Amino acid sequence: MKRLPIIAVAVLWSVQALAVEGNAKRGQTLFQNCMACHSLAADKNMTGPSLSGLWGRKAGTVPSFTRYSDALKSSGMVWDDQTLDKWLADPEHTIPGNTMTFRGIADAQQRADVLAYLKQATQPGNAQMAQQMPQMGGMMRTSVPNLKKLDAEDRVQSVGYCKDTYEVTTADGKKHKIWERNLRLKTDSSEDGPTKGAPALVPAGMMGDRADVIFSGPDEIGAFVKSNC
């Protein structure tokens, strides 16, 4: 009889520990779910804002990120262990009307793991280290590839258009014929984007039938793409 309370306390304690203790190593792997949209480097914004310096920051306040929803900006949320846990559990209902297209992480332990990792990795100056940490497999891209220095086979010289087909000529002399629905014309004006006058041909999609041509800015698109039937 005497031992019962001790067991009860021990069980309670371990349940509580499970709920709050995150494993940063497991969290790094789980952060793959975020990496397509979020960088940890300061002011490196992708689909979502950079997460650098996240703890203690008011939601929607990275000055260099220009695509925040009004919902997030006016949420009054300040990011800490509790608010981030709530947000990641159910983004849609935590801040209704936000534009993060991510379902959330239902498992409390997994959220604790991601947050344990993020708490370290989002500290200013830690991003470099975080991204150099060993990663599993070759699937993980921490960010978009830099397009400033391109091999001849990736450097676009001209883009012709006839009927339903784009013909992309690259600097190695090759001509790539691509169905118009399979080619996307994009721009990247950031430091990772291509040099002016040297757009990049980038394979896209899992099947190998799609491609992007990425220009340094929208003005270049008209200059490069010509109808030539």
Q: Does 101 sit near ligand HEC (CB under 6 A)? A: yes
Q: Does 27 sit near ligand HEC (CB under 6 A)? A: no
Give me the least distance between CB of 161 and ligand HEC, in Å please. Answer: 31
Q: Which is nearer to ligand HEC, 77 or 213 (CB)?
A: 77
Q: Does 99 sit near ligand HEC (CB under 6 A)? A: yes
- Residue carrying structure tokens 């975080």: 130
Q: Does 98 sit near ligand HEC (CB under 6 A)? A: yes
Give me the least distance between CB of 88 and ligand HEC, in Å please. Answer: 6
Q: Does 123 sit near ligand HEC (CB under 6 A)? A: no
- Applying CB under 6 A, the site for ligand HEC has a residue count of 26
Q: Does 33 sit near ligand HEC (CB under 6 A)? A: yes
Q: Does 88 sit near ligand HEC (CB under 6 A)? A: yes
Angle between helices 81-89 and 108-121 (to 10 degrees): 130
User: Of residues 49-68, which lie at the interface with ligand HEC (CB under 6 A)?
Assistant: 49, 51, 54, 59-60, 62, 68
Q: Which is nearer to ligand HEC, 122 or 157 (CB)?
A: 122
Q: Does 159 sit near ligand HEC (CB under 6 A)? A: no
Give me the least distance between CB of 139 and ligand HEC, in Å please. Answer: 15
Q: Does 47 sit near ligand HEC (CB under 6 A)? A: yes
Q: Give the chain's largest Cα–Cα span.
A: 92
- If DSSP states are collapsed to H, E and C, what string results for the chain? CCCHHHHHHHHHHHHHHHHHCCCHHHHHHHCHHHHCCECCCCCCECCCCCCCCCCCCECCCCCCCCCCCHHHHCCCCECCHHHHHHHHHCHHHHCCCCCCCCCCCCCHHHHHHHHHHHHHHCCCCCHHHHHHCCCCCCCCCCCCCCCCCCCHHHEEEEEEEECCEEEEEECCCCEEEEEHHHEEEEECCCCCCCCCCCCEEEEECCCCCEEEEEECCHHHHHHHEEECC
Positions touching ligand HEC (CB under 6 A) are: 33-34, 36-38, 47-49, 51, 54, 59-60, 62, 68-69, 71-72, 79, 88, 98-102, 105, 114
